Structure 1
Amino acid sequence: MHVLLTGASGDIGRFVMRKLLADGCRVTALGRRPVDDPSVAFSGFDLADPVPNLPAADALVHCALLHEPGRFRGGEGSDPETFQSVNVDGSRRLFEAARRAGCRQAVFLSSRAVYGDHRSGEILLETDEALPDSLYGEVKLAGERALQALCGGSFRGSVLRATGVYGVPPGKTGHKWSDLFETFRRGEAVPPRIGTEVHGDDLAGAVALMLRQDLKAGSPFRIFNVSDLLLDRHELLRLYSKTIGLDRALPVPVTVTVTGDGAPGVMAIDRLKSLGWSPGGPGRLQAFLRSQS
């Protein structure tokens, strides 16, 4: 299978690229510059391109996002208009170009931000009404709808609403918790926080699973939640300190009431699990922490 991949040099794209290559796919990275892997072809692409010119392929995986480096939510910085227009219109033009290039399917990396942050302690289902309360969430939801509008006939689309992604991206040494771990090692106070997480390899596995689905079965457009752990920084740093043998003060646990207040909404993943997806859970988190010792 020949797969076009945007965002291949980004953190999520690196996990996806490694998985696609391991599965024997032929991968062409779409971007401003080639990736540092001679086995990956390159085709120049920018989300701002008015008419993207894509090579013929079987599928598209869209991970790219124009944003301020290191930020997703709030990544619009001081230019929300450009953030919105390039990401929304650019994604729509990309999906249209992929269909013209012969792609039979597209996988779009969306976000749990489409649900909004107002649903504390609730279970979030793919069938729920999306009510984003950030520009990032609005942009991701618009991308989903742009893909859905093109699906039908010989072209199918899958949306993966991913939660926070942890793990060391292939080819890099740092990760999302590098600064947090360094702050903790120095003995500085760490503010409490609780959130949902999934390892990058598990997210990449979900992408690969989408590409393996029977294109003749089911709806031409599908949405799947991708999440694994509800993780309190208190527990994360307790495990980390135990793994590396470090005695430091832990942040206080986040207080969660019986009604769920204090905890984020947790995405249901039954739909994805029914297709055979099985995330690594606490075992994969422990393996990651051991790799940081």
Structure 2
Amino acid sequence: MRVALTGASGLVGQFIAQRLIADGHALVALGRPSPWGGEARDWRLGEPAPLAGCDALVHCAFAHLPGRYRGGEGDDPERFLRLNRDGTLRLWQEARGRRIVFLSSRAVYDGLPEGAALTEDRPLAPPTLYGQVKLAAEAALHDQGGASLRATGVYGPPAPGQQHKWADLFAAFAAGTALPPACGTEVHGADVADAVMRLLGQDRAGAFNCSDLLLDRHDLLAAWSRIAGVQGPLPERSTARPAVMDCTRLRALGWKPGGRDALEAALRQMARL
């Protein structure tokens, strides 16, 4: 297939770009070129998409303040909506008739009661603008037969010239900073890319949860200390545990995330950078 990919140089998009090329597909990077090769076409969110000759679209690009997703609109929510919601809805119309996979977010579940089961069939009303935009884009896409991937926090080695998501955390740990407890859900970027390929290959529609590990900051930093030989003060284990997304729908397609082995391998790669 010839696959158009937005956000090909981003935290998640870089893994999808690598996988598309590795699997022998023709990559068309819309916007910033991919560091892994493929064709590049000039494009920005909200502009007409140059999709000529493309069989499928994977949409990962999102305009937000650096490092912020929830709250990523800053003091300009109108621009945030114009680019991310309206620009994405325009993209769906332009890509009609092609296979489409959208990188959505766990944020669509924000606002549910504590302990609620995070399954794809729940009625949702996220309180953040970020979650609302993702959910609106999902709804429009599902109506025309596309698939959305509700990914949790994504980790993995960075693209060339970039930092991985935990770079600042690890630096603070090495500097002896007292870090607060925290716990979250994570998935390796390569596992997200595998999920995308399964959705493209089986032409699936609707929402699919994508999550792997429940990871406490204490355990992450302990593993980093052991692997990288860095010493620092470990935070207490968190007493708060986020709900874990039910990934039964995605696993039914044969998806098997890497678990602790993938985390260990990624940390070893990061330690060599």
TM range (shorter): over 0.9
1:1-293 map, 5 Å: 1-31=1-31, 33-37=32-36, 39-49=37-47, 51-99=48-96, 102-103=97-98, 105-149=99-143, 151=144, 156-213=145-202, 215=203, 221-255=205-239, 262-293=240-271
User: Percent identity, aligned pairs only?
Assistant: 51
Q: Is the 8 A contact 2:183 2:217 kept in 1?
A: yes
- In 1: Cα distance, 2:264 partner to 2:160 partner: 21
Instruction: Give, in angstroms, the shift of residue 59 of structure 1.
Output: 0.6
Structure 1: stretches of 5+ with no match in the other structure? 256-261
- In 2: Cα distance, 1:35 partner to 1:224 partner: 25
- In 2: Cα distance, 1:24 partner to 1:64 partner: 23
Instruction: Give, in angstroms, the shift of residue 53 of structure 1.
Output: 4.0
Q: Is the 8 A contact 1:30 1:43 kept in 2?
A: yes
1:129–1:8 Cα change, 3 Å: same
Q: Is the 8 A contact 1:91 1:146 kept in 2?
A: no
Instruction: Give, in angstroms, the shift of residue 70 of structure 1.
Output: 2.0
- In 2: Cα distance, 1:35 partner to 1:195 partner: 29
- In 1: Cα distance, 2:15 partner to 2:56 partner: 17
Per-residue CA deviations over 1:222-270 (Å, capped at 9, x if unaligned) read: 2100000011101111111122334422101111xxxxxx211210011
Per-residue CA deviations over 1:90-137 (Å, capped at 9, x if unaligned) read: 1111111112xx52x100000010010544344300111122121100
Instruction: Give, in angstroms, the shift of residue 221 of structure 1.
Output: 2.6
- In 2: Cα distance, 1:76 partner to 1:109 partner: 18
- In 2: Cα distance, 1:61 partner to 1:205 partner: 13
- In 2: Cα distance, 1:147 partner to 1:187 partner: 47
Q: Is the 8 A contact 1:163 1:198 kept in 2?
A: yes
1:123 is paired with a residue whose SS is coil
Per-residue CA deviations over 1:266-287 (Å, capped at 9, x if unaligned) read: 1001111111000000111111
RMSD between aligned alpha carbons?
1.6
Structure 2: stretches of 5+ with no match in the other structure? none
- In 1: Cα distance, 2:34 partner to 2:151 partner: 24
Q: Is the 8 A contact 2:46 2:90 kept in 1?
A: no
Q: Is the 8 A contact 1:115 1:129 kept in 2?
A: no
- In 1: Cα distance, 2:34 partner to 2:109 partner: 33
1:122–1:286 Cα change, 3 Å: farther
- In 1: Cα distance, 2:149 partner to 2:114 partner: 21
- In 2: Cα distance, 1:110 partner to 1:35 partner: 20
Q: Is the 8 A contact 1:117 1:264 kept in 2?
A: no
Give, as a single letter, the amino acid of the residue that structure 1 aligns with 2:171.
Answer: E
Q: Is the 8 A contact 1:194 1:233 kept in 2?
A: yes
Q: How many residues align?
A: 271
2:95 is paired with a residue whose SS is helix
Q: Is the 8 A contact 1:169 1:200 kept in 2?
A: no
Structure 1 ranges of 4+ moved more than 6 A: none
Instruction: Give, in angstroms, the shift of residue 68 of structure 1.
Output: 1.4
Instruction: Give, in angstroms, the shift of residue 186 of structure 1.
Output: 0.9
Instruction: Give, in angstroms, the shift of residue 159 of structure 1.
Output: 0.6
Give, as a single letter, the amino acid of the residue that structure 1 aligns with 2:135.
Answer: L
- In 2: Cα distance, 1:120 partner to 1:266 partner: 11
1:27 is paired with a residue whose SS is strand
1:287–1:117 Cα change, 3 Å: farther
